[in-house]
Structure 1
Amino acid sequence: MTRPRSLRLRLFLAGLASVVVALAAAMAGLSLLFERHAERQLARELAAVTEGLAAQLDLASPGGAWVLAAPPGDPRYDRPLSGFYWQVSRLEDAAPVLQSRSLWDATLALPPAAGTEGALVQLVDPGGALLLAVRRDVIMPARLGDERLVILAARDAAELAEAGAGFRRDLLPFLTVIAALLLAAFATQLAVGLAPLGAVRQRLAAIRSGREARLGEAGFPTEILPLARELDELLAHRERDITAARARAGDLAHGLKTPIQVLLAEAGRLEIAGQVEAAAAVGDAAEAMRRHVERELARARRAGRAPGERAEPRRVAERLVTVLSRTAVGARLRWEVGGPPGAAAAIHEDDLAEALGALMENAARFAASAVRVEVWEEGAAVAVAVMDDGPGLAATDHAEALRRGGRLDEAGPGTGLGLPIAREIVEGAGGSLRLGPTVPGAMTVALVLPVAIIRVAGSGRVDGTLTPDAGRASAVAGQDRRTQQGTPP
């Protein structure tokens, strides 16, 4: 049998079992106390009967038979086999001298005398039923012959058992109500006791979403504080590992940059020497190495993504334009960057530069005269579109373009890793990559990223939620329409 995995369910079941055991013990204990009380009460009543019989004993005549001046007034002593009995016997021969009419023609056996004076003892009635009796030994006065007598008063034990059963029946509804109240109190205790774990979960979710950097200690009870501290230490250790990983990735990039540049220079010398095929082979290999290094560096950065990362797409695009406009391919193009400068996306700036740079390099290779980068806000997201006036891409080719290594233009340079790497980076940050339009003469690639959330220090409040800019969206829509018509962006 599988144990319940829920801590709340486990604790509730344990509490339920505890309540059931406790109330069962309470039922047994109260029943026992009631039975002891009822036995003491019965012993007092039977002792009072024996005392009354002793007071009413007399001789019909000197040396004659014993009689009762006034028998007990309870009519059950006169009804045969009613369960209410009394008997007076001589101590010497245990022969009955008087007895209740309820005994009919039977007699009760005398219990032992030692230790039973005034205490309840068990006897058997004429019908074989169990009786509870009290024995009293008396010595009659001199005028009655100083005779020693034994007086017994007995009742059916079933009466006491029925009283105990009735008590338990009456007690059961009250115990049920108590059980319900205890379970309700226990459920409330569970909710209050486990609430700090819910707070831990909420703060961990805030850390994952970037709204918080640490759990902190505020509001946690003493028992949760060690867990919160250990988790914060783990987060700090992870951030140190991320920093070290980024540093190692940067060292790797710088370490490989020189050998790749050497290979590219060697390819240039081979081409000048007339070895075109060898130069192309070396150049392609060097370019492939560069692309693979970039891909692995991007993957390392994505794996080390820390909470609270933010980047301003427009500023990143402007920095990339400065670099690309100085290259042989980019120098012939007109570069434009538009959009709100304050719009921030929840992505590391290096990751955004990697993804956006791959798109802008692709656009530069295929653009006829101009490339435009437009930034706008889409509710809780920031969109960055790269538009060029190149030949465009049919919808049927989108899947191939996004496939790692997929190339639609085998004649040109490239490894087919640009779009797939950009998509991996963006999806790793929780965003998406969109291709379009689908008509020849235009190409638009858009990155849609979650908006960056700014933590307000010391207040626990989150600011920075971006709202749509209808004017900006309309402007970009117009740019898309112009691109579809084949005009430069």
Structure 2
Amino acid sequence: MPGPFHLGSLQRRLLLAALVAITVALVVAGVAIGLVLHRFVRGQLDSRLDSQLVALAAGLERGPGNRLRLTRSLDGPPFDRDRAGWYWQVRQGDAVLRSGALEGRDLDPGERARDGRRPGHPHPADGTGPWGESLILRVLTLPPEAGVAPAVLVASAPADALRGPLREAGGALALILGILGLSLMAGTLAQVRLGLRPLERLRRDLAAVRAGHRARVPGQQPAEIRPLVAEVNALLDQNAANLERARTHVANLAHGLKTPLATLSLALSDRAHDPDGTLGGLVGAMDGQVRHHLRRARAAALGGATRERTALAEPVADLRATFARLYAEKGLVIDVTLPAGAAVACDGQDLDEMLGNLIDNACQWCRGYVRIGAASTEAGLAITVEDDGPGLVPEAAAEAVRRGRRLDESVPGNGFGLSITQELAELYGGGLHLGRSGLGGLRAGLTLPV
């Protein structure tokens, strides 16, 4: 099966879609929260500077010559630190009052910050300090009095007073959003796995049907896949009906052909009708051909018969007892070693046919010992039938599975046993291989699906 992140995987598609959606949502949330934090920190900073401007405006008074002066010192923290960016300044005409941190230098808010503003309302501005530092400014223009130039009050803070808290908050925000994103992806993964679990259960149910453990897919399924299960069960029912009809037709054909052939064989058993036995041989060959093609048609009608499950132990035991009686004069020893619970996915009658041909062949040619075993392989279940007879050379082994080919005419048979076994095995997706046995004779390996 493809893995969960295979290109065509539903789980991959759902997880990728969730990843994109979560990423977009987290990016939008991060930007929005960042803007809110920026506005909040800037608001706090502006409030601090506005408080300084209000204190400056409240501390101003007119002195000699109608010039402004401060009634008290306003160089309290943080405006008492030299060159830290926390400055204040009052300018009226050519007269200037400034904080000690400016060291006698001017703080210029720029013409753009002074123009177009309503007097009495602080407004923001950005500028550069006397030593080239970036500053955040708040400017307050007092309403002019008769004959007196308006007073412009400026308070500043370093740009780092805004960027520093934002960097700290941004780092914490990124960490929180990252943890949130991982939590959401973990929850999405669990949700996707839970949501797709019925499909995995459906796959196992179909595999059980294919292996022959059950005839239909259980109808107790989630509502979304219940129609699919109903269609699959309808298809299985239709295939079963078609299979039954095919079996009936094959049985009818077998009955229609075998009865005349049996009649001919009985008639030709009289030497008066067949002095040299030629016609009897032809009738026997016809009977073998009919049996061969009927078995092949029946196996093809099963569509590979992957829905039938047949245990191996019982038919092997029956065949062992049967052939032990048939070849009792040999004093046969038929040794059977099968793994517990061994079973194949094929029709029971076809399994009897294949095993019967192989065991019969081994009993005919053995000296007195036949060994039957089985082992699981990647291709299925490998059933071996070995004997201690003369065996076959590789060239003769290939010739032995040809239809109607008999390597020894002195032994009874029609030459169809091995060919029928091979073709039936291939129709089930397996195969037949003939080779040399460790016992000295023939080793027939029959592979069938499990």
Q: TM-score, normalised by structure 2?
A: 0.71
> Residues of 2 paired with 1:115 and 1:25: CA distance?
39
> Residues of 1 paired with 2:272 and 2:135: CA distance?
124
Shift of 1:274: 5.8
> Residues of 2 paired with 1:444 and 1:87: CA distance?
109
Superimposed CA distance per residue, residues 179-238 of structure 1 (whole angstroms, 9 cap, x where no aligned partner): 3323332332233222222212222222222222222133x3332323333322232232
> Residues of 2 paired with 1:237 and 1:80: CA distance?
94
> Residues of 2 paired with 1:169 and 1:196: CA distance?
42
The answer to whether structure 1 residue 351 and structure 2 residue 354 are counterparts is no
2:212 — aligned with what? 210
Change (3 A) 1:158 1:258: same
Superimposed CA distance per residue, residues 33-65 of structure 1 (whole angstroms, 9 cap, x where no aligned partner): 11000111112111111110001111232x242
The answer to whether structure 1 residue 27 and structure 2 residue 30 are counterparts is yes
Shift of 1:355: 3.0
Cα pair 1:313 1:344 within 8 Å, conserved: no
Question: Which amino acid in the other structure matches residue 44 of structure 2?
Answer: Q
Cα pair 2:267 2:273 within 8 Å, conserved: no
Q: Secondary structure at the match of 1:303?
A: coil
Alignment of 1:225-374 (within 5 A): 225-257=226-258, 272=273, 279=279, 282-283=282-283, 286-287=286-287, 289-300=289-300, 303-305=303-305, 307-310=307-310, 313=315, 347-355=346-354, 358=357
Change (3 A) 1:121 1:111: farther
1:199 counterpart (194, 198, 201): 201
Shift of 1:266: 9.3
What is the percent sequence identity of the aligned residues? Answer: 28
2:402 — aligned with what? 404
Superimposed CA distance per residue, residues 75-97 of structure 1 (whole angstroms, 9 cap, x where no aligned partner): 6646665423333234xxx6554
Change (3 A) 1:115 1:396: farther
1:108 — aligned with what? 109
Q: Secondary structure at the match of 1:42?
A: helix
1:98 — aligned with what? 97
1:38 counterpart (36, 41, 54): 41
The answer to whether structure 1 residue 120 and structure 2 residue 129 are counterparts is no
Moved more, 16-25 or 256-265: 256-265
Question: Unaligned 5+ residue runs, structure 2?
Answer: none
2:421 — aligned with what? 422
Cα pair 1:85 1:153 within 8 Å, conserved: yes
The answer to whether structure 1 residue 138 and structure 2 residue 136 are counterparts is no
Q: Secondary structure at the match of 1:134?
A: strand
Cα pair 2:87 2:99 within 8 Å, conserved: yes
> Residues of 1 paired with 2:160 and 2:385: CA distance?
94
Question: Which amino acid in the other structure matches residue 225 of structure 1?
Answer: R
1:487 — aligned with what? none
Q: Secondary structure at the match of 1:152?
A: strand
Cα pair 1:87 1:96 within 8 Å, conserved: no
Question: Which amino acid in the other structure matches residue 34 of structure 1?
Answer: L
Cα pair 1:298 1:425 within 8 Å, conserved: no
> Residues of 2 paired with 1:116 and 1:12: CA distance?
58
Cα pair 1:401 1:419 within 8 Å, conserved: no
Question: Which amino acid in the other structure matches residue 139 of structure 2?
Answer: R
Shift of 1:114: 4.5
Change (3 A) 1:243 1:120: farther
Change (3 A) 1:412 1:75: closer
Moved more, 245-254 or 419-428: 419-428
Alignment of 1:436-447 (within 5 A): 438=439
> Residues of 2 paired with 1:211 and 1:305: CA distance?
13
1:170 — aligned with what? 172
Shift of 1:403: 2.5
Question: Which amino acid in the other structure matches residue 138 of structure 2?
Answer: V
> Residues of 2 paired with 1:293 and 1:106: CA distance?
109
Question: Which amino acid in the other structure matches residue 238 of structure 2?
Answer: H
Shift of 1:319: 13
> Residues of 2 paired with 1:377 and 1:243: CA distance?
31
Question: Unaligned 5+ residue runs, structure 1?
Answer: 452-489
Shift of 1:245: 2.7
Question: Which amino acid in the other structure matches residue 242 of structure 1?
Answer: L
Superimposed CA distance per residue, residues 80-138 of structure 1 (whole angstroms, 9 cap, x where no aligned partner): 65423333234xxx655433352704533224314993342334545565543223333
Moved more, 30-39 or 209-218: 209-218
Q: Secondary structure at the match of 2:142?
A: strand
Q: Count residues in correspondence.
A: 424
Superimposed CA distance per residue, residues 148-188 of structure 1 (whole angstroms, 9 cap, x where no aligned partner): 43322232334312332222123333333333323332332
Q: Secondary structure at the match of 2:214?
A: coil
Cα pair 1:351 1:425 within 8 Å, conserved: yes
Question: Which amino acid in the other structure matches residue 402 of structure 2?
Answer: R
Change (3 A) 1:334 1:116: farther
Cα pair 1:313 1:384 within 8 Å, conserved: no
